[in-house]
Structure 1
Amino acid sequence: MYVVSRQNGKVVSKKVRASPYEFTIATRAKWEMIISDEDIEIHAGEYRKIRVQEITLGPETLVIPCAFTYHNVVSTVKVGLKEGTSVIEKPRHIHYAYVFAQETGKVREGELIGVLNIFPIMFTRDAVEPVILK
């Protein structure tokens, strides 16, 4: 399979060998606020990537955006890393949110635009670490 990510601003496709694996999700979780780190104007129906205050995730955590709307103009669909993709076994740092505008309006720096549900996980069998193939 190929993993497509961004490195130094360029889109890169790497062939990797990996395998599916099972995990157990904890019944304990953490809420983390998604706070805008820039001012933007956005139009109803627009999908956009915006900077957010950094959120640090520990290794072996699963992140699911909360389904509730926390901002009257936008809803957070997903979050992203500066470096693009990353394996779950290492710490990750979220710097972006991808938002969908319900209405035309503004998002200002410091505004709450969403919440993440962060669940610790435990692998139920050893996963094969992805290997880059040449």
Structure 2
Amino acid sequence: KQAVFLAVEDGKIEKGDLIGVINVYYVGLTGVRSIIEDKVPERVRVVYRKGEKIIRKEVTVEPFGYVRSPVARWEALIADETRELRCGEPVVVKVKKIRVPPNTVIYPLQIMRHAYGSVADIFCDHPPWKVEEGGEIRKVVFLPLLDGEVREGELLGVLNFYSVEISPIGKVRQWLNNWIDEMGRTFAEPNWPIW
């Protein structure tokens, strides 16, 4: 169990620090019910910056899942400052403020990027927000692929905003089972496929 961590400054990761969250998508039409595992809550440390200080706060992370809308909206990440870039050295860049509504997950639109590099992630210099609470994006981590400059007003990237309904993992399993049952009935129709 390993992860690649892109540091933007010197520091230390300690055992028990939460370094990220991944999405696991379940695909397929057979045997899906058994792959959603029961998970127990875990104690972890959320690590964030507050001014010049690094804060480590112990929290309990409850297992959860979500159902995502198939429709997204795009939000442009526009530089709100000019920054010099050096190839391969991540830099934090201020962006025009973007409000993230409650119950929204964000994914980068990978085909939209700046000529000198890509946005690797959003940057929080405040406590991270919960998905169900929403928050604001004011800075991003930019990974330059070439030496150059990002200028104020330039497009750095685009984010997809998806509305979600969050629930404990047991309810997500129930949603999935209901969907599988419905699809099973649909595929069993004598007129399937319809085209």
TM > 0.5 between the two?
yes
**Rg larger for:** 2
Greater relative CO, 1 or 2 (CA 8 Å, sep 6+): 1
Matches within 5 A, 1:60-79: 60-79=103-122
- Does residue 43 (structure 1) correspond to residue 86 (structure 2)? The answer is yes
Shift of 1:90: 1.2
Partner of 2:138: 95
> Contact conserved, 2:85 with 2:147, CA < 8 A, in 1?
yes
Partners of 2:63 and 2:168 within 8 A in 1: no
| Percent of aligned pairs sharing the same letter | 28
Shift of 1:76: 0.7
User: Is the CA contact (8 Å cut-off) linking 1:82 and 1:95 kept in structure 2?
Assistant: no
State the Cα distance separating 1:69 from its structure 2 match. Answer: 4.2
Structure 2 counterpart of 1:24? 67
Q: Which has the higher strand share?
A: 1
Structure 2: 5+ residue stretches without partners: 1-43, 171-195
Alignment gaps of 5+ in structure 1: 128-134
Q: CA RMSD in A?
A: 1.7
Give the equivalent residue in structure 1 for 2:147. Answer: 104
Cα-to-partner distance string for 1:22-77 (whole Å, 9 max, x where unaligned): 11011010100000000011111111111000010100100011111421112111
Q: Which of structure 1's runs of 4+ aligned residues deviate more than 3 A? A: 124-127
TM-score (norm 2): 0.61
Higher helix share: 2
